[in-house]
Structures are given as C-alpha cells and as structure tokens.
C-alpha cells in the first residue's frame, strides 16, 4: 500500500465525522430545541423517548474520543498547544482560516463556520445581552483551528468532561470509557480521583478540545463569565446533565448560569438565512478592537 493511501486511511480512521458539524447536529438529536417542540405540539418527554438512531460516524467519533482522552493526553496537549506558537493571526484572519472547514456533506442546510459564529452572536445581541457576551458568541468556536493544525476530530470537538477522576455515566456513550486506560488506573478511577470534593472546576483538568484551548487564549482579555462560557460550552455532562456537582464550588454554580444562558444560542440559533456579514462587519470590528489586541497567538 502506498504511503499516501496509508495516510488517508489513517486520517479517515482517526476522523470518522464527515465534518465537525456532525457532532453538533447530533447534539440536536439529544437536546432538541424546546421551542420547535412547542410549535409541533410535542412534549419534551416525547422527544426524549424518541431514540434517534445515532449515525455510526458519530458513535465511532465518541469511541475514539473516550478511549484517547486520558489525564496524560490532556497534560500533553496543554504543554503542546498552550505555548501558542503555531500561528499569529488577527481575529479576522482566524475566522477566514477556520472557514476552510467547510461541510460538504449537506450543502443546502449547512452554513460555514463564520455563519454559525455570527448567528450565535447576533441572537445574543438581539436579546440585549452585554457586549462581551456578544463577542463571546462570535469567538466561541475559534479554537476549532486545532483541526487545521492537524489535530484529530476527537481532540477538537465533542462533549467535554473532567479527566483525572471517574468518568460520569451521564456522558454520551459512556460505555466506551471502559477502554480508556484511566478507567483501570486506581489513581484516576474513583469518584474524586486526584481532586477534593467541591474543589472547584478551576482545579480540574477538562478533556482536551477547542473549548479548553480557546479559553486559555482569551484568559487575559475577557471577563470571568465569558471565560466560563468558553471553557464549558461543550460540558454537556454538567450544564445539561448535572453529573459533576461534586467537583463544583459556589463560584462555579453562580457562573454556570451564564454557561446555561449561552447554550441555546449556540445550539438553536442555526438558521438557513445567513446574516449579512458586510453590514455587520463594522460593529464586530469595533467590538473586537474594544477587547482584543490586533493579533492573537494560536
Ligand atoms: Fe464549540
Ligand atoms: Fe458553536
């Protein structure tokens, strides 16, 4: 077998999703829009009881995620990527860079990354929330550039969860954690693992992906609630399932109000009508300039 063929097999085996959006589409199966439920006259319960057959690609994606996200892997990724020595870009260039991740599996309904960011931020703005929250909506997925640095999908997107302690059974496809080496390591496989009860999530290592990466990048610039949104917006096992109360402190509980407020804008703002970027650009240029330096180190 040729080297190229080997590489492409390796790539697709490591990256089962047709696009990063497939993970987010699957989230909508798990957490359907409550408003569309009301419109169609269905109750949340009916929706919950309806088991959408999850596509094999999503299942395989979670299998890879769950067996590979170990405590050591997370520390390794942090040491590697939190040096921020991959690329220096203005926010605009980063958005354009990210837009190379185009979903070609369903061109009619899927919008590019810029549209998702803008639809999220515009929905937040329309509801009159503070400008830093609008900016957070606009930036929240920029960490997905990890994928363009050659990182596998399972280390870029997906639900996030703590490592260094037992994996909660409320995590989607939690059965796959049986194959994660940490599940057999007595240091990490107890309820608290290396942590203390209610130590606070700032003490906790989260599984590695775009959330953790971009949170660290924004630490010097954005207010605390924005940082909570960035770090935990894919932490469905807590913000939707309450599976990690035992690690949270009072501050986390207060700040998670913002994470929960943000989540529907991320999940349910998708709309087939793309916002007019040319019209909106001056507003976002001012907003970015208010909080961020001219370039960011990725
Ligand atoms: Fe995200
Ligand atoms: Fe998002």
**Tens-binned pLDDT, residue by residue, of the chain (298 aa):** 334 444 455 567 788 998 888 888 889 888 988 876 544 444 444 443 334 555 789 999 999 999 999 999 999 999 999 999 999 999 999 998 998 876 444 444 456 889 999 999 999 999 999 999 999 999 999 999 999 999 999 999 999 999 999 999 999 999 999 999 999 999 999 999 999 999 999 999 999 999 999 999 999 999 999 999 999 999 999 999 999 999 999 999 999 999 999 999 999 998 888 899 999 999 999 999 999 999 999 9
Q: Which ligand is nearest to the CA of 230?
A: 1
Kindly give the distance from the C-alpha atom of residue 147 to the centroid of ligand 2, in angstroms, as a whole number. 15
pLDDT, residue 73, reads 98
pLDDT, residue 55, reads 74
pLDDT, residue 102, reads 62
pLDDT, residue 46, reads 43
Reported pTM? 0.89
Kindly give the distance from the C-alpha atom of residue 3 to the centroid of ligand 2, in angstroms, as a whole number. 35
Cα end-to-end span (Å), the chain: 36
Among the listed residues 267, 261, 253, 54, the one whose alpha carbon sits nearest the alpha carbon of residue 172: 54
Cβ neighbors of 131 (< 8 A, separation 6 or more) are 287, 290
State the Cα–Cα distance between residues 240 and 264, nearest whole angstrom: 11
Q: Taking the CA of residue 6 as centre, how many other CA atoms within 13 Å lie in the half-sphere pointing to its CB?
A: 3
Kindly give the distance from the C-alpha atom of residue 143 to the centroid of ligand 1, in angstroms, as a whole number. 8
Buried/exposed code over 53-73 (b: 16+ C-beta within 10 A; e: otherwise):
eebebbbbbbbbbbbbbbbeb
pLDDT, residue 26, reads 87
User: Hey, what are 32's tokens?
Assistant: 């359907």
State the Cα–Cα distance between residues 54 and 72, nearest whole angstrom: 30
Query: Dihedral of CA 178/67/170/243: which sign?
Result: positive
Kindly give the distance from the C-alpha atom of residue 140 to the centroid of ligand 2, in angstroms, as a whole number. 6
User: Hey, what are 204's tokens?
Assistant: 């906790």
Kindly give the distance from the C-alpha atom of residue 210 to the centroid of ligand 1, in angstroms, as a whole number. 7
């Amino acid at each position: 077998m040729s080297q190229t063929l080997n590489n492409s097999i390796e790539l697709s085996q490591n990256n089962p999703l047709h696009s990063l959006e497939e993970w987010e589409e699957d989230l909508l199966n798990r957490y359907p829009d409550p408003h569309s439920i009301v419109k169609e006259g269905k109750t949340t319960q009916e929706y919950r009881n309806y088991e959408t057959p999850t596509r094999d690609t999503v299942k395989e994606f979670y299998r890879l995620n769950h067996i590979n996200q170990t405590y050591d892997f997370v520390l390794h990724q942090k040491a590697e990527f939190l040096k921020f020595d991959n690329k220096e870009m203005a926010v605009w260039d980063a958005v354009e860079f990210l837009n190379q991740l185009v979903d070609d599996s369903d061109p009619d309904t899927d919008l590019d990354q810029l549209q998702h960011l803008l639809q999220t931020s515009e929905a937040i703005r329309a509801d009159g929330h503070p400008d830093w929250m609008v900016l957070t909506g606009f930036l929240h997925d920029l960490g997905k550039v990890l994928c363009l640095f050659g990182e596998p999908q399972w280390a870029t997107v997906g639900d996030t969860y703590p490592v260094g302690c037992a994996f909660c059974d409320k995590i989607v496809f939690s059965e796959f954690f049986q194959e994660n080496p940490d599940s057999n390591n007595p240091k990490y496989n107890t309820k608290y693992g290396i942590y203390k009860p209610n130590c606070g999530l700032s003490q906790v290592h989260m599984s590695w992906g775009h959330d953790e990466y971009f949170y660290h990048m924004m630490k010097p610039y954005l207010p605390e609630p924005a940082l909570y949104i960035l770090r935990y917006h894919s932490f469905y096992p807590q913000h939707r399932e309450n599976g990690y109360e035992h690690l949270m402190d009072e501050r986390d509980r207060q700040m998670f109000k913002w994470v929960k407020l943000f989540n529907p804008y991320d999940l349910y703002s998708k709309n087939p009508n793309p916002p007019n970027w040319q019209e909106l650009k001056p507003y976002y240029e001012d907003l970015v300039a208010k909080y961020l330096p001219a370039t960011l180190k990725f």
